[in-house]
Chains A and B, each alone.
Chain A
Amino acid sequence: MTATDAFSAGQNTPDIPSRPEAVEMPALSIDGVSHSYGARQALIDVGFTVAPASFTALLGLNGAGKSTLFSLITRLFGIQRGHIGIFGHDVAHAPGEALRLLGVVFQPRTLDLDLSVTQNLLYHAALHGIARRDGRERSREVLARIGLADRAGSKVRDLSGGQMRRLEIARALLHRPRLLLLDEATVGLDVKARADILNHVRQLVTEQGISVLWATHLFDEIGSNDDLVVLHQGRVLAQDKVARVIADTGGGDINTAFMRLTGSTAQSGSPTS
């Protein structure tokens, strides 16, 4: 079974909330968010939304502010200005409710290398209040889905980079979130591993209705039907469907559109295809 096949097997149904009132709201709403490190402004009045069951690419160069934004959404940093909501739950005022609905894969690896694959998953389950028996069951499920069932007892440090990333994604889904954030999730992986992970995440959107915010600096990870947010030097320069952004800028492709949006200021490095 290839990793892609393995990814596509099985189902991961998000938890059904218990209260019956129905409300209509975006998966993620970011409104007027600014953040600074001392005198340096990392984010300036950032605002956009991620629709439920959508794949939204957050495109930006290194230094654009993507990881800072992720740290604010996940409450690693306090929100200095603006509001962030996850399915209507304010991250600053109702962090428990908001973080419950959120799965996240950070740019740096956050697995415990000295623990086994299953132990890492059980630890994550416990941090979400999932009882051990349920955690074991879910671990078996997700490991089968990512094609790592035979590595359940292996130490994480013995896995390849691609396997670690797949494990991190599986871990992020273990508590059945409705919104998944991935920050440069394919950095350092080979072409096939990148494609496998991207395909898997897209399947989560289409088959399970999970909303995804995919931060990247790689053009070839962005599909023509995706929603796109272009973040540059801490500001949102565009937010729309990819095709519309391309059309609005008059560029023939996303590469040209990005260069036109960022203009001559895109000197610190450019996204690649």
Chain B
Amino acid sequence: MTSATIRPIRSGFSLGEYLTCLNGIVWREALRFLHQRERFISALVRPLVWLFIFAAGFRQVLGLSIIPPYETYILYEVYIAPGLMAMIQLFNGMQSSLSMVYDREMGNMRTLLVSPLPRWFLLSCKLLAGTAVSLLQVYAFLLIAWFWDIAPPPAGYLTVLPALVLSGLMLGALGMLISSGIKQLENFAGVMNFVIFPMFFASSALYPLWRILESSPMLYYVCLFNPFTHAVELIRFALYGQVNWTSLAVVGGCTIAFMVGAIYAYDPSRGLIRRGPAGGET
């Protein structure tokens, strides 16, 4: 066969190209979210059911003492609001990973993975896009909660933003890591049972840790080592303009660990290599 004379292409990518790529991935994720109105509604209905029904019912049963960051007695609805915000992000993170598994099964994921930009960057963009979508949902929830008299200090709406970004990244990275290990869409139902429910219930989202300690020391330690507990506490403190340093360290550390794991798992020479070609391909 013949050869021809060509000149080599330039190496590396400019900052503009990186930003264009990030913008494109976030834009696509937002478009998909807007097209899936049911997803937005269900993302809101879930925490609102907890807030309006569960919290109202348990208000009289579950008394709360004054614990930081609160400076006075609070309603149970006020207590569980940060937990429900984190729950929105937890479900969104898992929804994003479900979407990645679906994209991989349907072939759409290839469009992303054959981009010439570094794969770690593509996955990070995907993660940021998912987090941005979760922020929309959380603030929509806060708006509705405000009408229910659950109103943190006005500055809290701003101070909670960095905490939401970090917790959104952590839960999104966890979802991405999980998605790398799921080979078939059908297997994803297991994630509900083995990840979402245990993480949510074994945390401080619905009841303070001191109450759990009273009833079961072992469960207390499970909750204490649950990263979701720290996401909840990070959000809770940030909502009142405070920083829970322990939670910040745990959430930050887990974000890095989950992200590194996901990038490792999506590396073609590692995670993807164990899978055969999609059905029907050879």
Residues of A within 8 A of B (CB): 15-26, 37, 49-54, 60-68, 71, 74-80, 87-89, 92, 94-102, 104, 106-112, 114-115, 119, 122-132, 178, 183, 209, 227
B5-31 residues with Cβ-Cβ distance < 8 A to A are 5-14, 16-18, 20-21, 23-25, 27-28, 31
Cα-based distance from A104 to B21 in the complex (angstroms): 19
Closest Cβ neighbor of B273 among chain A residues? A78
Is B115 positioned at the interface, with any CB of A under 8 Å from its CB? yes
Residues of B within 8 A of A (CB): 1-14, 16-18, 20-21, 23-25, 27-28, 31-32, 35-36, 106-108, 110-118, 122, 267-270, 272-273, 276-278, 280-282
**CB of B191 to closest CB in A, whole Å:** 23
Subset of 7 A-B contacts with CB under 8 Å: A17-B8, A19-B9, A78-B270, A97-B8, A114-B32, A126-B25, A128-B115
Cα-based distance from A115 to B31 in the complex (angstroms): 8
Once the chains bind, are A52 and B118 in contact (CB under 8 Å)? no
Cα-based distance from A65 to B267 in the complex (angstroms): 21
Once the chains bind, are A128 and B116 in contact (CB under 8 Å)? yes
Once the chains bind, are A123 and B280 in contact (CB under 8 Å)? no
> Which residues on the B side are within 8 Å of A19 (C-beta)?
7-10
Closest Cβ neighbor of A35 among chain B residues? B273
Contact of B277 among A67, A79, A96, A111 (CB under 8 A): A67
Contact of A22 among B5, B114, B269 (CB under 8 A): B5
Of all A-B residue pairs in the complex, the 3 with the closest CB atoms, nearest first, are: A126-B24, A129-B17, A78-B269
Contact of B11 among A20, A87, A97, A227 (CB under 8 A): A97
Contact of B24 among A89, A102, A110, A122 (CB under 8 A): A122
With contacts A95-B116, A131-B20 taken as known, whether A54 is within 8 angstroms of B108 at the C-beta atoms is no
Cα-based distance from A88 to B6 in the complex (angstroms): 10
**CB of B166 to closest CB in A, whole Å:** 26
> Which residues on the A side are within 8 Å of B280 (C-beta)?
107-108
Once the chains bind, are A101 and B9 in contact (CB under 8 Å)? yes
Cα-based distance from A76 to B267 in the complex (angstroms): 9
Contact of A76 among B8, B11, B106, B272 (CB under 8 A): B272
Cα-based distance from A209 to B6 in the complex (angstroms): 11
Once the chains bind, are B5 and A99 in contact (CB under 8 Å)? no
Closest Cβ neighbor of A184 among chain B residues? B281
With contacts A17-B9, A77-B272, A89-B9 taken as known, whether A24 is within 8 angstroms of B107 at the C-beta atoms is no
Once the chains bind, are B5 and A23 in contact (CB under 8 Å)? yes
With contacts A64-B282, A96-B117 taken as known, whether A127 is within 8 angstroms of B9 at the C-beta atoms is no
Cα-based distance from A89 to B17 in the complex (angstroms): 20
Cα-based distance from A104 to B281 in the complex (angstroms): 15
Cα-based distance from A106 to B11 in the complex (angstroms): 26
Cα-based distance from A77 to B122 in the complex (angstroms): 16
Once the chains bind, are A123 and B28 in contact (CB under 8 Å)? yes
Given A67-B278, A126-B20, A129-B21, 19 extra CB contacts under 8 A: A16-B7, A23-B6, A25-B6, A37-B276, A67-B277, A76-B268, A87-B6, A87-B8, A107-B280, A108-B107, A109-B106, A111-B108, A114-B36, A115-B28, A119-B28, A123-B111, A127-B25, A128-B21, A131-B16
Cα-based distance from A225 to B267 in the complex (angstroms): 39
> Which residues on the A side are within 8 Å of B115 (C-beta)?
99, 127-128
Contact of A21 among B8, B21, B122, B267 (CB under 8 A): B8
**CB of B78 to closest CB in A, whole Å:** 38
With contacts A62-B282, A129-B18 taken as known, whether A89 is within 8 angstroms of B8 at the C-beta atoms is yes
> Which residues on the B side are within 8 Å of A128 (C-beta)?
21, 115-117
Once the chains bind, are A130 and B281 in contact (CB under 8 Å)? no
Once the chains bind, are B273 and A80 in contact (CB under 8 Å)? yes
With contacts A52-B2, A123-B28, A129-B21 taken as known, whether A20 is within 8 angstroms of B7 at the C-beta atoms is yes
> Which residues on the B side are within 8 Å of A129 (C-beta)?
13-14, 16-18, 20-21, 116-117
Closest Cβ neighbor of A124 among chain B residues? B111
Once the chains bind, are B12 and A96 in contact (CB under 8 Å)? yes
Once the chains bind, are B3 and A52 in contact (CB under 8 Å)? yes
Once the chains bind, are B268 and A78 in contact (CB under 8 Å)? yes
Once the chains bind, are A127 and B8 in contact (CB under 8 Å)? no
Once the chains bind, are B108 and A110 in contact (CB under 8 Å)? yes
Cα-based distance from A13 to B107 in the complex (angstroms): 28
> Which residues on the A side are within 8 Å of B16 (C-beta)?
129, 131
> Which residues on the A side are within 8 Å of B281 (C-beta)?
67-68, 107-108, 183
Which of A15, A125, A128 has the most CB atoms of chain B within a 10 A radius of its CB?
A: A128
> Which residues on the A side are within 8 Å of B20 (C-beta)?
126, 129-132
